């Protein structure tokens, strides 16, 4: 078999639209991060109808205020026009998904040749029924440029009650995982010598069989002058946090040897004035604490378990999703 035949057999078919779509996502990411100075998080399951989450950043601080982006790239999305903008025709499944999403959703149309993009928010005012289908007008005036920063910030903000509800809805997948017997592990890197309280967090997910399901990272969070043992539980009000005892054991034992161990050179082993368990119980550590600190960074590893708040939310969510609404 020749080289060309071997090469052909080893390859997989790439959808024709995929390279352009990925280029459109990359262009949008550059606009959001470089021009706006905001955070951009690509979503792997973009076929659901949301390609990315954008977090507003104000004065260098993450706000937790998010927008969902559906990004469409290429001439086919820019051909049909009205007097005011491009005509975009979403399908029913995406419209239903967007209108029930916990985040405000924007449709972004990208022209790679002109290096420009335009946006429109998705709601019942911007969606126009054509009878059997839907259409939206993406205004020519609404280019994805910093001139629209204030308006996009306004869209990301809402009543505090609604914002908190959105955060619970976004965390529903984690609550359901714990409910179904899976495991969530939180790793934290705390910059202990910085008054800013900088931290990097990662939430690692495994199913009930121990298979890895991926992770979610927050690489740059700020908790100025905060006690992490108090702040970390506030980030996950639907779960209880405990140290990962198995992971901490070896680090604790090393400190126990330093504190209590006496080396007997004749016998070639340590003697201890008290047992490891007795020593551990006598410590004045916080219930939550780092397992290691090197003078620059403190490392934490915590386990999450579903608490009463999380269980109550799952019950309420199921009722609202499947059941009848109560009389007002």
Residues 11-43 pLDDT 10s: 545 455 677 888 999 999 999 999 999 999 988
Dist. CA 154–CA 35, nearest whole Å: 18
Dist. CA 272–CA 274, nearest whole Å: 5
And the tokens for 269?
A: 């082993």
In the block, tokens 């239903």 appear at 96
Range from 169-173, 186-190, 206-210, 322-326 carrying the lowest mean pLDDT: 322-326
**Is residue 62 pLDDT above 80, yes or no?**
yes
And the tokens for 73?
A: 């790239």
Q: What is the pLDDT of residues 267-278, one digit of tens each?
A: 777 777 778 777
pLDDT of 63 reads 86
* pTM attached to this predicted model: 0.55
User: In terms of pLDDT, which residue wins out, 17 or 100?
Assistant: 100
Read off the pLDDT of each residue in 71-84 and give the average, rounded to a whole number.
94
Measure CA 100 to chain center.
Answer: 19
pLDDT of 59 reads 85
* Domains defined for the chain, CATH in brackets: 3-159 (3.40.1350.10), 171-322 (no CATH)
Under DSSP, the state recorded for 13 is: P
pLDDT of 6 reads 47
**Is residue 130 pLDDT above 90, yes or no?**
no
Measure CA 157 to chain center.
Answer: 18
Dist. CA 110–CA 90, nearest whole Å: 16
Q: What is the pLDDT of residues 248-306, one digit of tens each?
A: 888 777 777 777 777 777 777 777 777 877 777 777 666 888 988 887 899 999 999 99
Under DSSP, the state recorded for 193 is: T
């Amino acid at each position: 078999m020749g080289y060309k035949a071997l090469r052909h057999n080893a390859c997989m078919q790439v959808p024709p639209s995929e390279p352009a779509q990925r280029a459109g996502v990359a262009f949008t990411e550059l606009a959001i991060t470089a021009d706006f100075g905001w955070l951009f998080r690509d979503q792997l399951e973009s076929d659901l109808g949301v390609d990315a989450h954008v977090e507003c950043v104000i004065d260098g601080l993450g706000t937790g205020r998010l927008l969902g982006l559906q990004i469409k790239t290429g001439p086919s999305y820019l051909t049909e026009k009205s007097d005011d903008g491009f005509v975009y025709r979403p399908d029913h499944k995406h419209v239903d998904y967007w209108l029930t999403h916990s985040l405000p959703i924007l449709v972004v149309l990208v022209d790679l040749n002109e290096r420009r993009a335009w946006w429109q928010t998705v709601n019942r005012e911007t969606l126009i029924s054509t009878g059997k289908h839907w259409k939206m007008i993406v205004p020519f005036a609404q280019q994805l440029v910093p001139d629209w920063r204030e308006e996009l910030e306004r869209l990301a903000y809402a009543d505090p009650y609604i914002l908190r509800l959105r955060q619970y809805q976004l965390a529903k997948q984690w609550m359901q995982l714990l409910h179904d017997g899976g495991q969530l592990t939180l790793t934290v890197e705390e910059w202990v010598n910085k008054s800013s309280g900088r931290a990097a967090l990662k939430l690692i997910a495994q199913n009930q069989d121990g298979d890895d399901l991926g992770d979610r990272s927050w690489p740059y969070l700020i908790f100025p002058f905060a006690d992490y043992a108090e702040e970390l539980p506030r980030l996950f009000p639907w779960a209880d946090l405990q140290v990962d005892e198995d992971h901490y054991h070896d680090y604790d034992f090393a400190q126990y040897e330093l504190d209590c161990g006496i080396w007997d050179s004749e016998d070639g082993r340590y003697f201890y004035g008290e047992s490891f368990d007795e020593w551990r119980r006598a410590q004045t550590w916080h219930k939550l604490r780092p397992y290691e600190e090197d003078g620059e960074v403190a490392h934490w590893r915590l386990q999450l378990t579903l608490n009463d708040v999380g269980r109550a939310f799952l019950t309420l969510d199921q009722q609202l999703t499947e059941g009848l609404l109560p009389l007002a």
